[in-house]
Amino acid sequence: MLHADGPAAQAIIRRIRANNRRHAIAILKLALKTVLPPSVTLAVLALLSAYLVGYIQVTFGSRLLTAAASAVTFLVAILIVRSVWQWADRRYGGWTLLRTIGQVNRDIRQLERSIYIGAMTEAEYVMAAQAAWELYAAAMQHTGFQVE
């Protein structure tokens, strides 16, 4: 099915996959760096919230006040964890990188299906593969990875 330009597009796809394999551990570390601060923040806030709600319940004995304290601490925890998540993603970029890599991989699968069923011409296939490479390379370089 693929003739003149097909091997070039397939080479781009192989290059993306090879870079993914080569950087897999580093990408995983980056993702963990991004997820760890909000996770620790959530755990600490959950403990503080449980302590605070327990203290209010023992001290005041009011169900309404305990429920209100639970709701307020829950909302505050959500806001703080969201802020920490956004900071960690800006700082490390792991979540954004994973989303971009996922999008590139979905695009590649769609390209392969399209060329297999003949829905794309070879020139369109090469252009789409090149666009996927440019998106992938920009995301990887933005987070400090060198791509080949």
How much is the pTM? 0.77
Encoded amino acid at 82, one letter:
R
Question: Is it the case that residue 6 has pLDDT exceeding 80?
Answer: no
Tell which residue, 139, 126, 147, 142, has the closest CA to residue 13. 126
Percent of the chain topping pLDDT 70 = 96
In b/e form, how buried is each residue of 1-27, taking b as 16+ CB within 10 angstroms? eeeebeeebbebbebbeebbeebeeeb
Res 121: pLDDT: 80
- Domain assignments of the chain as residue spans, ordered by start: 6-142
Which residues 6+ apart lie within 8 Å of 106 measured at CB?
none
Q: What is the mean pLDDT of the segment spanning 16-37? A: 94
Number of neighbours of residue 44 by Cβ within 10 angstroms: 13
Number of neighbours of residue 43 by Cβ within 10 angstroms: 11
pLDDT digits (tens, 9 = 90+) for 102-118: 999 999 999 888 877 87
Query: Which tokens go with 15?
Result: 């290059």
Query: Which tokens go with 52?
Result: 């605070």
